[in-house]
Amino acid sequence: MTSRRLLGPILLCLTLCAACSSRPQIVPVPVVERVMPPPALAQDTARPTWTGRTNGDLLEHAIDLGAALDRCNADKAALRAWAQDSTGQARLEEDERSGR
């Protein structure tokens, strides 16, 4: 029973101590920055259209499809490299300078 009687004055004392503390502490709020991949890596790869009539044209179309797939895979590799890079732009600029 004595602990219940002491609880009130203890809480009052703690409240007063908190009210008399120095200036309030300022807590910085984190800023969320949305980082997007470079627009060049998000562009669609053109789909080669079939316009041929012969087996030779079919072979050429298959080569064009393979080249389109290679461009898609290169974009994905560049996205992975960009995601791992701390700045995201340095590696892309190097690739653009080298003509990849």
Q: What is the pLDDT of residues 43-67, one digit of tens each?
A: 888 899 989 999 999 999 999 999 9
In a domain, 90, yes or no: yes
Domains identified in the chain, total number:
1
Task: Look up tokens 């590799």; give the residue.
Answer: 77
Distances, alpha carbon 31 to alpha carbons 28, 34, 37, 100, in Å: 9, 10, 19, 34
3-class secondary structure, 41: helix
Exposure of 60 by Cβ count < 10 A (0-12 exposed, 13-18 middle, 19+ buried)?
middle
Domain ranges, residue 59: 52-100
In a domain, 30, yes or no: no
pTM of this prediction exceeds 0.95: no
Q: With bands split at pLDDT 50, 70 and 90, how would you rate the model's confidence at 73?
A: very high
In a domain, 83, yes or no: yes
- Does residue 72 carry a pLDDT above 70? yes
In a domain, 43, yes or no: no
In a domain, 100, yes or no: yes
Distances, alpha carbon 6 to alpha carbons 9, 14, 35, in Å: 6, 12, 56
- Does residue 89 carry a pLDDT above 60? no
* Number of Cβ within a 10 Å radius of residue 92: 20
Chain centroid to Cα 35, Å, comes to 5
Q: What is the pLDDT of residues 8-49, one digit of tens each?
A: 777 777 776 665 567 778 889 998 888 888 888 888 888 999
